[in-house]
Amino acid sequence: MAELIAIGTTATSSADFTLASGVSTTLHLKTASGVIPKGAAVSIELKAGSAYTAIGGLTDKEPARVLAAPGTYRVSRHVNAVAFGVERD
């Protein structure tokens, strides 16, 4: 597992990561307690040139998602009162 965003409450974005053709990865929310807080949300963003476009997200209701398309991505956490982070498998 690779930590994309450390557990915290502030708005932040991960470093870019790249998926090659034929490769997939799972993104998931994480907390110290293992319980995902209500309202937790991150955007999954695809990089095109120097700009990012939101293509989906992770929430307390959908805390994991598989990416399977080639491209350069990042995740951006929204401010939340309870700390959480994001990992990539």
User: CA distances (Å), 19 to each of 9, 46, 47, 88, in order?
Assistant: 27, 11, 12, 12
2-88, which class in CATH?
mainly beta
pLDDT along the chain (89 residues), means of 10: 95 97 97 91 96 96 96 94 94
Neighbouring C-alpha atoms within 13 Å toward the C-beta of 59: 6
- Answer whether 77's CB lies under 8 Å from 57's CB: no
- Answer whether 3's CB lies under 8 Å from 89's CB: no
Buried b (16+ CB within 10 A) or exposed e, 29-47: bbeeeeebeeebbbbbbbe
Q: What is the pTM of this model?
A: 0.92
